[in-house]
Amino acid sequence: MKEGYSVSLREVIGTLRRRWVVVLVGWFVTLVAGWLAIHPTPVYKGITVITLRAPRSENLPNQFNDGRPSIALTGALISARLQSRSGELQLRQAGVVGKYALTPRNSGTSATPAYIIASVEVTNETGSARSALRGIEAIVNTFRSELDVIQADWGVPAELWITVATLAPPSAAPVLVLKSRALLGIAVLVGFALLSARVTRFWARVRQGLTIMSDRRRYFREVWLVQFAGWLFRFAAFWCLLEAFNVGGSVSNVLLVLGVNAVAALVPFTPGGAGVQQALLVKVFGSGATVAAYSVGQQIAIAALTFVIGLVALTRIFRFRSFKEVIAAGKAQREAEKAAEASA
């Protein structure tokens, strides 16, 4: 752990003594959260599976043998209708409480092709098993009435109506809650509270860095224009390197290289994205000796130039003669920050 960012046990105890009210409230909230995590509100999930049956006929006495994709699609459309805003309002008025879902399963068997047997899984989660079963019953009845209304509106004879049957009888069981996850979340909160001093310093530096945003003119003049110029130089550098390695300098190629660098920066597995950039550039521009040489040569050239510029800045601008002086100056600044925080 780096110096200046660690929090000693003595500092933690001193902070707790000075802010005992905050600590007391924090422990109370932690105890309440722990009790709720260990004794969560019971939730019961009711479930059933219904199916849409084709009308019975003399040629096909078994209604399941006349399954068709259109019947399965009808069940899926009614399920979507009942899960819309208007359908939810209709089910709430029918007495359904808690979370509910209608999931078309539409899976066939080894003898019947898939997407032929139109089955729908109906679930309802509430605070009691009885309420969950009542919700399941209300949802199935509403589903059946919706199907009947559609067929009546289309003038389908009653003997040719599609009907709803239950494949799996309704049942309700308690939903298991992983208490370990809740306790882990509480532990994270406690750890966050113990490291609050470090977090406070971090956000103070973030606010300090964003202070320039309050002055738009100064931000545009001293930040935006400088960044824009930097992006232009980077654009020109990539263009020249693409031309130098005979890959081809163009706006699209330069944008691809910039995108590769951005992605490599998000995957900090290696210093400077070494290896990640090469793999992505070969994938983008295609395999070959030219692309491989460009990917390696570009990174070496930019790294060498950056090192030289940084070294010149340390010696000419900040007047450092060695890296020992840089480390000593950093330690002195951190000690000064600690002293300022202690006095505050």
Q: What are the residue boundaries of the structural domains of the chain, listed by start? A: 9-40+178-197, 44-167, 216-343
Q: Which CATH architecture has domain 44-167?
A: 2-Layer Sandwich (3.30)
The answer to whether the beta carbons of residues 57 and 91 sit under 8 Å apart is: no
Amino acid at 35: W
Cβ atoms within 10 A of the Cβ of 66, count?
A: 16
Q: Which residues contact 139 (CB under 8 A, 6 or more apart)?
A: 82, 91, 94, 96, 100, 102, 122, 124
Closest CA to 67 of 113, 5, 125: 113
Of residues 158, 101, 169, the one with CA closest to residue 133: 169
User: DSSP for 133-181?
Assistant: HHHHHHHHHHHHHHHHHHHHHTT--GGG--EEEEEEEEEEEEPP--HHH
* Residue 61, both tokens: 């006495």
Tokens of 293: 């040489």
| Angstrom distance (rounded) from CA 315 to CA 312 | 5
Tokens 């706006």 — which residue?
251
Residue 90: per-residue pLDDT: 92
CA–CA dist 103, 79 (Å, integer): 7
How are beta strands 44-53 and 163-174 bridged, if at all?
A: antiparallel
| pLDDT of res. 194 | 57
Q: In sequence order, what are the beta bridge partners of 174?
A: 44
Per the DSSP assignment, residues forming a β-bridge with 99 are: 125
Distance CA 122, CA 87 (A): 14
Is residue 148 a contact partner of residue 105, using CB atoms and an 8 Å limit? no
Given this model, what pLDDT does residue 5 score?
46
pLDDT score for 4: 44
Task: List per-residue pLDDT tens for the chain, 344 residues long.
Answer: 444 445 555 665 666 566 566 656 666 766 666 666 666 678 899 999 998 887 766 665 555 555 566 777 788 888 889 999 999 999 999 999 999 999 887 555 555 555 556 788 999 999 899 999 999 999 999 999 999 999 899 888 888 888 888 888 899 998 876 555 556 666 666 666 555 556 667 677 777 878 888 888 888 888 889 889 988 988 898 888 888 888 888 888 888 888 888 877 776 666 666 777 778 887 777 767 788 788 788 888 888 888 888 888 777 777 777 777 778 877 888 788 777 766 65
Q: Please compute, for residue 292, the number of CA atoms within 13 A of its CA located in the half-sphere on the CB side.
A: 3
Q: What is the pLDDT of residue 88?
A: 92
184's tokens: 């882990």
| Amino acid at site 271 | P
